[in-house]
Amino acid sequence: MLTPKKWLLGVLVVSGMLGAQKTNAVPRPKLVVGLVVDQMRWDYLYRYYSKYGEGGFKRMLNTGFSLNNVHIDYVPTVTAIGHTSIFTGSVPSIHGIAGNDWYDKELGKSVYCTSDETVQPVGTTSNAMGQHSPRNLWSTTVTDQLGLATNFTSKVVGVSLKDRASILPAGHNPTGAFWFDDTTGKFITSTYYTKELPKWVNDFNNKNVPAQLVANGWNTLLPINQYTESSEDNVEWEGLLGSKKTPTFPYTDLAKDYEAKKGLIRTTPFGNTLTLQMADAAIDGNQMGADDITDFLTVNLASTDYVGHNFGPNSIEVEDTYLRLDRDLADFFSNLDKKVGKGNYLVFLSADHGAAHSVGFMQAHKMPTGFFVEDMKKEMNVKLKQKFGADNLIAAAMNYQVYFDRKVLADSKLKLDDVRDYVMEELKKEPSVLYVLSTEEIAEASIPEPIKSRVINGYNWKRSGDIQIISKDGYLSAYSKKGTTHSVWNSYDSHIPLLFMGWGIKQGESNQSYHMTDIAPTVSSLLKIQFPSGAVGKPITEVIGR
């Protein structure tokens, strides 16, 4: 029989066990926020430093830990791979995301990284905008690993204007992933995640925030004569925005242009404002950081990429976008302080890739530059027809890679080696080409490090091409005759910022060499969870302090 004394003793023992469990719980922040600023060159931290306020980038630099020598481990350096590699700690050869798009040799067609026809759009009728999922991703993410470590009690949400930049960081089984729909001006998702939009998303969409943000057009935040870090406002190598006939401030017709084409907000700083407001709504709507179970919010600031592509790194438009983003980040961090508590959350900020200077800008300043082969596929197929008598031997040319059509080769009774060798020799004659190599023979190629390792890391035997091309420094693909682009191994594309701030982070900086793939292992170590399944990076001990 259980006497009162034994009952009380049992209560005390159980209470003691529960208290010990709580006391000995793994120390973790209430919330992790992974910020990826699209197309952010490392030098933007300091180019505009004197004009930043105290609460955004400077807060991270002056109270957090800054890694000044972080590089991307692979080529091509594009958005989908960048986000995937940050959150998996892995490379395309392993995690499977070999580009924003790649040519599927079995299907005989181009494939978009998150395209998934087995799912349906949620929040839109557009299949193109809504049929997306992470099914092409072969490895787990740090967000997946947090879910596994907490028996999927952690809330994980991905937010971006871009589908791929929301979906891939959030992983395989998040609470939700949401992206912007150009057809409606609203955030949407797919049936991979849910059958209908959560109430908090509908509430946010119903506010029509994009229209409010563009209502007054876009003028410079500061007097335009203070933008001394940038070129003059009207230069020939900048693209146009909306109905404006010149690439110059102010953009007074932005509201009208947005009504005609909702996707226009992407190429303004207000796309970043919109994204961070959506991220705030995600925190409130999911009560993220409200209890002792760590949650994870991934946020991609994509407008820096769209503005950069359109105007180029030395434009006043890009500078103004970063000054406005700095203020938006200050507001976002202030909201985190209030909602989660200063010291209770961990933030890291990085970029998926950088960007080259515009060709026109480089030419104006007597720097080596030029354009890569304009229509390589068409040009080489003409030469191959003359040489081997077969049409369309090249099926695709993308990501600085050449894909041969196996069926055409077989039907024409041609050997891959013969055709490949011929194309490689022809490409070597191009003035824009530095190296050409067979992806099956990368290890034997006479090219220096780190280029060789980056080609190996970027080569996925199932999804990459048969030939990899390395362009000369400063050469851009021909479609970037205005503005800029990225994709190559050089420092302007591969050197990215990496800042940590908040829970568990001491103040400091380092110039030691680190890699994009070190980010996920570092976050995993801070959270004391298993590394993502395909991780090849290592924890940055200078950040975690041990």
| pLDDT attached to residue 13 | 40
| pLDDT attached to residue 7 | 43
Distance, in Å, from the CA atom of 34 to the CA atom of 89, rounded to the nearest integer, reads 14
pTM for this model (two decimals) = 0.95
Smallest CA-to-CA distance from 218 within 303, 276, 280, 281 is with 303
Q: pLDDT band for 372, please (50, 70, 90 cuts).
A: confident
Q: Region 58-62: what's the mean pLDDT? A: 98
DSSP of 435-457: EEEEGGGGGG----TTHHHHHHH
Reply yes or no on whether 153 is catalytic: no
Q: How far is CA 58 from the centre of its chain?
A: 22
**440-469 pLDDT per residue, tens:** 999 899 999 999 999 999 999 999 999 999
Question: Is 1 a residue whose pLDDT tops 50?
Answer: no
251 and 242 Cβ atoms separated by less than 8 Å: yes
| pLDDT attached to residue 396 | 96
**376-409 pLDDT per residue, tens:** 899 999 999 999 999 999 999 999 999 999 999 9
Q: Which two tokens mark 49?
A: 């430093």
Between the two ends of the chain, the Cα-to-Cα distance in Å is 53
Q: Which two tokens mark 196?
A: 């209908």
Q: Region 315-335: what's the mean pLDDT? A: 98
Domains delineated in the chain: 31-359+488-544 (3.40.720.10), 373-431+433-471 (3.30.1360.150)
DSSP of 471-525: EPTTEE-GGGSSS----SSSHHHHEEEEEEEETT--SEEE-S-EEGGGHHHHHHH
**109-149 pLDDT per residue, tens:** 999 999 999 999 999 999 999 999 999 999 999 999 999 99
Question: Is 347 a residue whose pLDDT tops 60?
Answer: yes
| pLDDT attached to residue 15 | 39
Question: Is 37 a residue whose pLDDT tops 50?
Answer: yes
- Please give the mean pLDDT across all residues of the chain: 95
Q: Which two tokens mark 468?
A: 């990899």
| pLDDT attached to residue 69 | 98
| pLDDT attached to residue 24 | 63
Of 3, 23, 79, 275, the active-site residue reads: 79
* Longest Cα–Cα distance in the chain: 99
| pLDDT attached to residue 19 | 35
Residues 6 or more apart whose Cβ sits within 8 Å of residue 430: 373
Count CA atoms within 13 Å of residue 300 on its CB side. 34
Count CA atoms within 13 Å of residue 263 on its CB side. 6
| pLDDT attached to residue 220 | 98
Q: Is the Cα dihedral 237, 238, 244, 246 positive or negative?
A: negative
Q: Which two tokens mark 393?
A: 């031997």
